[in-house]
Amino acid sequence: MKIRDLLAAESIELNGKVTGKKETLDAMVDLMAKSGKINDVEVYRKGVYAREEESTTGIGEGIAIPHCKSDSVSRPGLAAMVVPEGVDFDSLDGEKVNLIFLIAAPNTKENVHLDVLSKLSVLLMDEDFTTNLRNAKTVDEFLHVIDAAEAEKDAEEEKKEEEKKAEAPVSNGKLILAVTGCPTGIAHTYMAAEALEKKAKELG
């Protein structure tokens, strides 16, 4: 499954005009509903609100990733909005948000969509990627940015796996254990893991 499989063109808005957090969440839920993946929009909306009350999904750097795992979701999905003027979202860094992805996850044991969502979360930590998304002039361009970045990430992961197989086992290596957490275990966990990996590589 690819990010494109979850993100329908009709669920993307490149010129969002919202004035507050509630209006933003409502607009994102309405975008998600256009994909036909929600079987009860109001139940899903309440779930998105409830998740937001636990802690803000405005992660900083102008990005927010609200999300909800619920029986009201028929199939996993994504919706996206660019808000050129930015909107107050109670972000962790206090700055306005201008790039938002809403995640819809069905309440099932099979979490096949999580690898896609983890990949998106990791990609959003790349400044060039988010800049290109914010600057996209058309929905097709927005989707192309995602497709290209995902293909590049997949190639990197394949290369990593090949390098691991080629490396001789290290008997005196260090084991680093990191524990991350998110109220619904969807996005922040993967972003934290990526940040830890990057820092570990930087420190050797």
> Catalytic positions, please?
67, 182
Q: Which two tokens stand for residue 152?
A: 């590049």
Cβ-contact 87, 18 below 8 angstroms: yes
How far does CA 89 lie from the centroid of its chain? Answer: 16
d(CA 92, CA 61): 9
Residues pairing with 79 in the sheet: 102
Cβ-contact 102, 79 below 8 angstroms: yes
Q: Produce one character per residue of 177-198: b if its CB has 16 or more CB atoms within 10 Å, e if not.
A: eeeeebebebbbbbbbebeeee
Q: What is the DSSP string of 126-159?
A: -HHHHHHHHH-SSHHHHHHHHHHHHHHHHHHHHH
d(CA 102, CA 143): 15
Hunting for tokens 């990627």 — which residue is that?
A: 129
